[in-house]
Amino acid sequence: MALSVADLDLRGVSEALGRREVTSVQATEEYLGRIAQHDRVLQSYITVMADHALARAKAADAEAERGRRRGPLHGVPIGLKDLIAVAGVRMTSGSQLYADHVATRDAFVTRRLHDAGAVILGKLAMHEWAFGRPATEGAFPTGRNPWDVRRAPSGSSSGSAVAAAAGLCAGALGSDTGGSIRGPAAMTGLVGHKPTYGLVSRSGVLPMCWSLDHVGPMTRGVWDSAALLQIIAGVDPDDTSTRGAQVQDYLGTVEAGARGLRLGVLRRFYVDVPGLHADVRAAALTAFDVLRAEGATLTDVDAPTLDLSMAAWAPFLAETYEYHARNLRERPEGYRESLRPRVYMGALFTGADYLRAQRLRERFRREVDALFERVDLLVFPGQMAPALRFEDFPTTGLATASMRYTAPWNLLGLPAVVVPCGVSGEGLPVSIQIVGRAFDDATVLRLARAYERVTDWHTRRPDPATWRL
């Protein structure tokens, strides 16, 4: 096979399959071969579903032979964060407690992917219960950053980021409660999309905080994320948060360009801050110039309650504690030492703290709604700094400095995407972030694509020759 799917984004794989330049079985075998070759170092998969994937790929090829192609995901190999259920397959949530847990039915998003003809390659590494720390040891290591294997890809959807960035799948799904899609996507040069809360079902997805959890795509390109979202978005009777889901034509509008879009730059809170890495700042400011040149207008805007957003986010950890309280009491040894205090922390918020947070959340919503009367989208740097070395991750705490870039947007449930916009002096990816109105994920993706199509950051690939310890 002359064509290597590992060099392609999801769109490239989809188009190659459509042109019959490659079969789904060939693509699947190539990814499986790369997993076998590289994942001992990269640690991105917890469970490789080789037999399942090859059977699905064979069925997809047979259908294509008969002239039936279900859509852009037909035969495309995808990875799932290991908190998304696939019936009959182990689902660990990165936890020793669930080391032998086998899901009895597919998650809604899994079902949608199967119905679209996608091939599930395997279950991807993650931070323990979507809230632990990066780990290279133990039963469930969390993955190494393919841009520098001494660094973490951040988390918690760490394996999803590593596998998609390293070409060990064509795209992946992750989940995001305070930045767990966008953080690792930013650290690995991917597009990471946290859809509007209520657009994508979480049924069959293990929770971190029910009120803030989102499932979304992590891919090399914006079109790729639009294609995945098109399939996984929609009403699911098993997840009441999706009752009001408004699905748009993401692929149909993704090429509409930036002209005429009004962008608000959240400069005070996100750009003019001492902790922001100079390379991230410089790349983001250059990206804003590119968007202006593409016909968008940019205005500085502010939402004062951003200052309180981390204080308002943390009390939701009461939800995490509630989910784990019994297991923590009865089987504390089932949790890593580094995770236990983070979960216990949820017990120390009072009911009044939780409700105060809910009221500040409402205040924040009103402020941002007012901004969206003046602008169509909000833009700002996608992260505080490029990827950290494993040893530089704090042992405790809530990482409020870095989470300020992502967690406020979980509080509001608004669509948010990171898109690569440069590299640091050390060659590490950096990103901008775009936030839109609720259920207007299409405009978020449209601006991301407008930026992407006049830049080449998304085409850069990490070098497999560096994947050694």
Partner 1 sequence: MTDDRHTQFDAECRAAGLTLSGRDRELLFDMWVDWLPHRDRLRAEVPAPEEEPWR
Indicate which single residue of 253, 327, 358, 455 sits in contact with partner 1 (rule: CB under 8 A): 358
- Minimum Å gap between C-beta 333 and partner 1 is 11
Report how far residue 409's alpha carbon sits from residue 335's, in angstroms, rounded to the nearest whole number: 28
The three state secondary structure string of 9-31 is CHHHHHHHHHCCCCCHHHHHHHH
Q: Which 137-166 positions form the footprint of partner 1 (CB under 8 A)?
A: none
User: Segment contacting partner 1 (CB under 8 A): 37-45, 121-129, 220-228, 358-366?
Assistant: 358-366
- Minimum Å gap between C-beta 238 and partner 1 is 21
Which of 156, 160, 201, 225 does the annotation list as catalytic?
156
User: In this complex, which beta carbon is closest to partner 1, that of residue 54 or of residue 311?
Assistant: 311
Residue whose pair of structure tokens reads 């003019």 in the numeric block: 272
Which of 14, 24, 44, 81 does the annotation list as catalytic?
81
Q: Write the DSSP assignment of 35-76 as a string of letters.
A: HHHHHHHH--EEEE-HHHHHHHHHHHHHHHHTT---STTTT-
- Minimum Å gap between C-beta 275 and partner 1 is 16
Residue whose pair of structure tokens reads 């040894």 in the numeric block: 333
Q: Which 56-85 positions form the footprint of partner 1 (CB under 8 A)?
A: none
Is 431 annotated as catalytic? no
- For residue 402, give the nearest of 385, 381, 380, 427 by alpha carbon: 385
- Minimum Å gap between C-beta 237 and partner 1 is 21
Residue ranges in 380-419 assigned as alpha helix (H): 400-403, 407-412
Is 194 annotated as catalytic? no
Contact predicate 189/455, CB 8 Å: no
- Minimum Å gap between C-beta 268 and partner 1 is 17
User: In this complex, which beta carbon is closest to partner 1, that of residue 70 or of residue 363?
Assistant: 363
Classify 102 as helix, strand or coil: strand
Q: Which 360-399 positions form the footprint of partner 1 (CB under 8 A)?
A: 360-363, 365-366, 395-398
Which of 154, 157, 160, 180 does the annotation list as catalytic?
180
User: In this complex, which beta carbon is closest to partner 1, that of residue 246 or of residue 358?
Assistant: 358
Is 338 annotated as catalytic? no
User: In this complex, which beta carbon is closest to partner 1, that of residue 85 or of residue 360?
Assistant: 360
Report how far residue 149's alpha carbon sits from residue 145's, in angstroms, rounded to the nearest whole number: 5
- Minimum Å gap between C-beta 24 and partner 1 is 44
Which secondary structure element, helix H or strand E, spans residue 184, and what is its range? helix 182-188
- Minimum Å gap between C-beta 319 and partner 1 is 14
- For residue 44, give the nearest of 56, 55, 34, 57 by alpha carbon: 34
Report how far residue 299's alpha carbon sits from residue 445's, in angstroms, rounded to the nearest whole number: 20
Q: Which 297-326 positions form the footprint of partner 1 (CB under 8 A)?
A: 308, 310-312, 314-315
User: In this complex, which beta carbon is closest to partner 1, that of residue 1 or of residue 348?
Assistant: 348
- Minimum Å gap between C-beta 356 and partner 1 is 6
User: In this complex, which beta carbon is closest to partner 1, that of residue 326 or of residue 468?
Assistant: 326
User: In this complex, which beta carbon is closest to partner 1, that of residue 252 or of residue 341?
Assistant: 341
Report how far residue 391's alpha carbon sits from residue 332's, in angstroms, rounded to the nearest whole number: 25
User: In this complex, which beta carbon is closest to partner 1, that of residue 360 or of residue 377?
Assistant: 360
Q: Which 399-418 positions form the footprint of partner 1 (CB under 8 A)?
A: 400
Q: Which 254-293 positions form the footprint of partner 1 (CB under 8 A)?
A: none
Report how far residue 14's alpha carbon sits from residue 76's, in angstroms, rounded to the nearest whole number: 6
Classify 263 as helix, strand or coil: strand
Report how far residue 201's alpha carbon sits from residue 239's, in angstroms, rounded to the nearest whole number: 6
Radius of gyration, alpha carbons of the chain: 20
Judged by CB under 8 A, does residue 357 bind partner 1? yes
Binding pattern to partner 1, positions 327-356, x when CB under 8 A?
-----x----xx-xxx-xx-xx----x-xx
- How far is Cα of residue 334 from the mean position of the Cα atoms in its chain? 26
Residue whose pair of structure tokens reads 């690792």 in the numeric block: 184
User: What is the dihedral angle through the alpha carbons of 423, 169, 185, 197, rounded to the nearest 10 degrees?
Assistant: 150
Count of residues in contact with partner 1, rule CB under 8 A: 33
Site of interaction with partner 1 (CB under 8 A): 308, 310-312, 314-315, 332, 337-338, 340-342, 344-345, 347-348, 353, 355-363, 365-366, 395-398, 400
Active-site residue list? 81, 156, 180
